[in-house]
Amino acid sequence: MEAKRLAGEKAAEYVKDGMIVGLGTGSTAYYAIQKIGELVKQGLKIKAVATSTSSEQLARELGINLVTFAEVDSIDLTIDGADEVDPHWNLIKGGGGALLREKIVAAASKQLIVIVDESKVVAQLGKFPLPVEVVPFGFEQTQRKLAELGCEPQMRMIDNQPYLTDNGNYIFDCHFNEIKDPEALHDRINQIVGVVDNGLFIGYTSKVIVGSSDQTVTELTRA
């Protein structure tokens, strides 16, 4: 937790007056949002777009000025967590189920700062099961098509019920174990009818901040 806090608080230092800021989702993004909330109380003036209903609620409690895409054309800086980061700064995201809104916000952002603890930095993506957001209608067929790509898609459950995203969709966690060509896999998954999006984030990351258990924070250099 301390490593996540260090990364989150370091990233908040990049938020400047007048910026439109994307607020990520998850336990690491939580610390960045908390810090941004503190800075707002001290007079920082920003507008923010949240990537989930939970981050929206947290931001509201902290007095952060929230806006929607009806009010802004682009986002200056987004700070978000990740489940895995590879040496090219490609990501697996969606462990917290917010991958679709996170990707919409990342795609609209001039800069994406990824905040992680050291356990998330990997040589190759795929040990973490890849989350895929799927429309409920006909999900059995979509699941079969996903399995044909060489994974074991498992429907995410909560309290013995299918987990529902903020968009009312299901998540299938797909165990690939190793993803040799993230870009190709991203495209093949998204070509399946019934898939809304998947948790591979290719080419969005501008900076990676890593918090470590020895209390240090480092910024990665890209391969």
Active-site positions read: 102
Residues 21, 25: Cα–Cα separation, whole Å: 13
Residues 155, 169: Cα–Cα separation, whole Å: 11
Give the H/E segment covering residue 105: helix 99-107
Nearest residue (CB) to ligand 5RP, 28 versus 142: 28
Helix, strand, coil content of the chain in percent (nearest 5): 30, 30, 45
> Quick one: DSSP state of residue 129?
P
Residue numbers of the site for ligand 5RP (CB under 6 A)?
Answer: 24-29, 80-83, 93-99, 102
Least distance (Å) between residue 80 CB and ligand 5RP? 5
Nearest residue (CB) to ligand 5RP, 22 versus 26: 26
Least distance (Å) between residue 26 CB and ligand 5RP? 3
Nearest residue (CB) to ligand 5RP, 26 versus 126: 26
CA-based nearest residue to 84, from 33, 124, 57: 124
With beta carbons less than 8 A apart as the criterion, state whether 25 and 56 touch.
no
Least distance (Å) between residue 115 CB and ligand 5RP? 7
Least distance (Å) between residue 38 CB and ligand 5RP? 19
Nearest residue (CB) to ligand 5RP, 93 versus 186: 93
Least distance (Å) between residue 52 CB and ligand 5RP? 7
Residues 23, 34: Cα–Cα separation, whole Å: 11
Pairing label, strands 20-23, 75-80: parallel
Nearest residue (CB) to ligand 5RP, 28 versus 78: 28
CA-based nearest residue to 177, from 125, 215, 214: 125
Amino acid at the residue 174: C
